[in-house]
Structure 1
Amino acid sequence: MITIVCESALEILSDDAALSRLGDPCQASNLEWSTFSWSDIRELGRYIAFDERHPIHVLVDRPVDRVHSDRVVSHVWSGPIPPGSLYHLAPGVLIASPGFCYLMASGSQSKPRAISIGMECVGLYGRRRDARGFSDRNQLMTKEELAEYLEGAKGCYGCRNAIRFLPYVMERSRSPMETVMVLALTLPAREGGFGLPRPELNVTIKPRPDEFALSQRSQYEVDACWERQRLVLEYNSYSDHLSRESLDRDAMKGNSLRSLGWKVLVVTRAQLEGDALTVLAYQVARGLGVKRPHPKAEERDRLLDELF
């Protein structure tokens, strides 16, 4: 039995079509995971997009069965596997649920990295090893559903961390860079972040009828929004915002939102590095009317290294 876990599972689940092929959740008791060979793994190509240039992460029964090579990285799970952790993907192949991926990350990875994986699970993107780096997809689960899964996982390895990290997980991020942006701004200073209030992500702003003359469109979706303070943060990637159409659309959107009384800050990749991030954090704090302790430069940079 081959069981795909961790980033390999999340990469498969980055494709909405893969979600439609999942079978029912399976009972994990009395299953064996160490009985497979490389030829068995290569057979996965019949069912999923499998890139042999990158290792695939799988579950094994015992530490002695572990393999760590350029083809396979194996993981051991101690104790019972919580309900809703594994799904049938293909004959003889199981895949970890998003909740199980987050639980495993919470037990083995740093707090910022585990939180970013949680945000991918409840977000609108999945990481991919391609030029863009991610794909757009539907939400795998809501934050409420993730919390319910963790209730059934109490006592399992990593669960205490997973529950402790959960308040920092925000729903509906649309890209890895949006996740980096909001976590760098909102994680506590002891983690290297700036401790700012958490925004809502990818929400819709609609002008009132008396404001229609000020707006180019009937509604706008914004990347990050603090509604009470009427502050919007927009992340503009270099690849998606350089065409004439994109520049026109971004200009119209920004002008309309400002005319409607919103403060709009635009963020690019370069503003999420070093001292530029500190300046951005001060700009956001001023827009929110708050003061927060800022991290030391080395702590800030360490956080960014973990998130990128």
Structure 2
Amino acid sequence: MCIVREKRDLVFCIETLPSSVKDRTLSKFFAKNEEDCEKTPYYGAMPLVLSHISALEYWLSVRRGSRSFVRVSRARSLLSSVPSLSSEKVLGPWWFARPLHAIVAGQELRRPSSEFVCHVWSGPLPKGSVLDTQNGFCVCSPELCFLQMANSLSMVELIMLGFELCGTYDVSDGDVRECQPLTSVAKLSAFAEKMHGVNGRKNALAALKQVVGGSASPRETALCMCLCLPYRLGGYGFEKPELNHRIDIPSTLKSHVRQSYFVGDLCWPERRLDVEYDGSLHLDADRRASDEARRTVLETMGFTVVAVTRKQFNSVAATHAVAETLALHLGRRLRFRDPSFSQVRLRLRTKLFEGSRYGLPPMGNPLK
């Protein structure tokens, strides 16, 4: 690899490298006047910038394990070439569905192809919106990807995606595994706010008003959406809870449970209300005893604990009964009109439980 210290050295480096190397990353140099000394990659053959559903597929497949990215500060320069099979060969991940979606600078760079779908991106590309994966290709950031997907997903799907990107669960192999959030509601909102004139901005901002960060599972996401989305989307319109909220236990009660804090699944701390979702099909004696001790301590602390089982959540009538209980504790009256609300509620539940993945290839349904 040729290390470029000065921009004027770049041409010389390119000419001195073997032709086989020119199609790879030639060098990286430290951009001047950058407070964080951000690395700026230079390429012989411009790499693909994966976008839209291909970028989403990438992000949802790399949530576990370590990853290393370089922020591309001059991202627009990467959009000036036509994606080709030669550039596809350097793609590290082999699991992407075809065709690959990528962004280009203008209509003249779009070509009919079974391998690529090119999207013209004329909007701004703020620093950090394109990342070099260091595997021969670049990818739009989670924030930019969310904005792009706002053009193709329904409002309910877009809200679901927001929950997942800001959540702590990975379902890439069909099972639910813990992971770190890819982004946050605040980051998504701040990014969308500054992208004036970009298609999808309005939908993205509307969806983000309904998203809550910190969900630990698809079922938790679904329960929160069923309870808190507005009536017009099929929810009960409750104020948004804090998901997986830490509840510290007073020292006088720690001996009862042998732990220093609880984590409330859906918690309204100011209302002293905790909704606990139990997705287990069967509870053994030890688990039942632990849950009862937890409930006793929380109630001693002044919390009302509402348990929701998998069987209850699978039932429309039982979920409605839970909503009526929450309405009492949250000081709300359920004001919806039937049959229109029942119809849109059914559509919401169908979408939440069908296990579709935003148009990605099908996999096991973690909601079942």
Establish whether TM, by shorter chain, passes 0.5.
Answer: yes
Corresponding position of 2:330: 288
Question: In the alignment, does 2:200 pair up with 1:158?
Answer: yes
The answer to which structure has the higher helix fraction is: 1
Residue 35 of structure 1 corresponds to which residue in structure 2? 83
Alignment-mate amino acid for residue 123 of structure 1:
G
CA gap 1:131/1:78 in 2 versus in 1, 3 angstroms = closer
- 1:187-228: CA deviation from partner (whole Å, max 9, x where unpaired): 100111110111011111112234445544221111110112
1:263 paired to 2:304: yes
Q: Which amino acid aligns with 1:125?
A: Y
Deviates more, 1:85-94 or 1:5-14: 5-14
Deviations 1:3-42 (A, max 9, x none): 3343303313422413xx22223433133475233x8657
Alignment of 1:86-105 (within 5 A): 86-105=130-149
2:186 equivalent to 1:144: yes
Gap runs ≥5 in structure 2: 1-46, 354-368
The alpha carbon displacement at 1:285 in A equals 1.6
Q: How many angstroms does 1:156 deviate by?
A: 0.9
Q: Compared with structure 1, are the counterparts of its residues 206 and 100 closer, same or farther at alpha carbon in structure 2 (3 Å cutoff)?
A: same
Counterparts of 1:84-233 in structure 2 under 5 Å?
Answer: 84-128=128-172, 130-132=173-175, 134-212=176-254, 215-233=257-275
Contact kept in structure 2, 1:56 and 1:73, CA below 8 Å: yes
Partner of 1:14: 63
The aligned counterpart of 2:119 is: 76
8 Å Cα contact 2:256/2:293 also seen in 1 = no
Secondary structure of the 2:150 match is helix
For the structure 1 residues 4 and 175, does the alpha-carbon distance in structure 2 shift closer, same or farther, using more than 3 Å as the test? farther
Matched positions, count: 295
Q: Report whether the alignment pairs 1:307 with 2:352.
A: yes
> TM-score by structure 2 length?
0.70
SS in 1 for 2:260: coil
Amino acid in the other structure paired with 1:22: F
Seen in structure 2, the aligned counterparts of structure 1 residues 140 and 60 have a Cα distance that, compared at 3 Å, is: closer
Query: Does the aligned pair in 2 maintain the 1:13–1:126 contact within 8 Å?
Result: no
1:59 to partner: Cα distance: 1.8
Instruction: Report the TM-score when normalising by structure 1.
Output: 0.82
- Verify the 8 A CA contact 2:82 2:110 in the aligned structure 1: no
Mark the structure with the bigger radius of gyration: 2
The separation in 2 between residues aligned to 1:65 and 1:170, in whole angstroms, is 40
* Separation of aligned partners in 1, 2:256 and 2:284: 25
User: What is the aligned-residue identity percentage?
Assistant: 25
Judge which range, 274-283 or 173-182, deviates more.
274-283
Q: Structure 1 residues 261, 11: closer, same or farther in 2, change over 3 A?
A: same
